[in-house]
Amino acid sequence: MIKVLIYEDNPQLREGLTMLIDGTEGFQVLGAFKNCSNVAFEVGSYKPDVILMDIDMPGVNGLQGLKIIRQQNTDVSILMLTVFDDNVNIFEALQNGANGYILKKTPPVKLLEYIHEAATGGAPMTASVAAQVLKMFSQINLPSGNDYHLSEREKEVLQFLVKGYSYKMIASEMFIAMDTVRSHIKKIYEKLHVNSKSEAVAKAFRDRLI
């Protein structure tokens, strides 16, 4: 059962998302809220697997909520679900630990696939967003040469992360246990000084580690 929290200020959309997700086998909506005013308490109390996070909300918005969550929880998967596909919002969300970035026009069936992908360690993005992300990173011209002392095994794991592989898929490809994958990824995060998969992928592109 994939447990989900929803943050969306539009009441009709919030209700529609709740009905879609909660009415699908294998998914459960634990709560749905109009903003992130109490996000630290809610995430700590409900302990979701995945959070669907709108950006433009009154009071405490989605980007602020994302930062608050990451101060206390680096494990929960956070998917930004928004109408905004501009570079500024995408980059800020990824820099602050979002696991994926999908647009509200995403078809319901695809949305459920994205939630499942996030829950199993993936980093889903709407195609148009992914294209912008790659374009942004291609335009960043920073000197290479810092490999952060990653071992060959850690570099191999990082390559799979960049390709969007889940922990389970990495374990299968490398013929290692899931716990070993988690151990490698924890060390990668420590060496790169990041807190999420999206940050690790961003740094891998930016510093040309792959």
Instruction: State the Cα–Cα distance between residues 86 and 84, nearest whole angstrom.
Output: 6
* CATH T-level fold of 143-206: Arc Repressor Mutant, subunit A (1.10.10)
pTM of the model: 0.68
Which residues are CB-contacts of 15 (< 8 A; sequence separation ≥ 6)? 32
Question: In the 8-state DSSP scheme, what is residue 45?
Answer: H
Tell me which architecture the domain covering 2-137 has in CATH. 3-Layer(aba) Sandwich (3.40)
For the segment 68-115, what is each residue's pLDDT rounded down to a tens digit?
A: 999 999 889 999 988 877 777 888 888 888 988 998 889 999 999 999
Question: For residue 88, what pLDDT is reported?
Answer: 78
For the segment 136-175, what is each residue's pLDDT rounded down to a tens digit?
A: 665 655 455 566 889 999 999 998 888 888 889 999 999 9
Question: For residue 146, what pLDDT is reported?
Answer: 67
Task: Give the relative orientation of helices 127-139 and 87-95 as an angle to the nearest 10 degrees.
Answer: 80
Amino acid at 93: A
Please tell me the least confidently modeled range out of 13-17, 42-46, 129-133, 198-202: 129-133
Structural domain spans, the chain: 2-137, 143-206
pLDDT classification of 7: cutoffs 50, 70, 90: very high
Instruction: State the Cα–Cα distance between residues 147 and 190, nearest whole angstrom.
Output: 13
For the segment 25-63, what is each residue's pLDDT rounded down to a tens digit?
A: 999 999 999 999 999 999 999 999 999 999 999 999 999
> What distance lies between CA 147 and its chain's CA centroid?
24
Which run of H or of E encompasses 27? strand 27-33
Which residues are CB-contacts of 39 (< 8 A; sequence separation ≥ 6)? 7, 33, 60, 65, 68, 69
Question: For residue 136, what pLDDT is reported?
Answer: 66
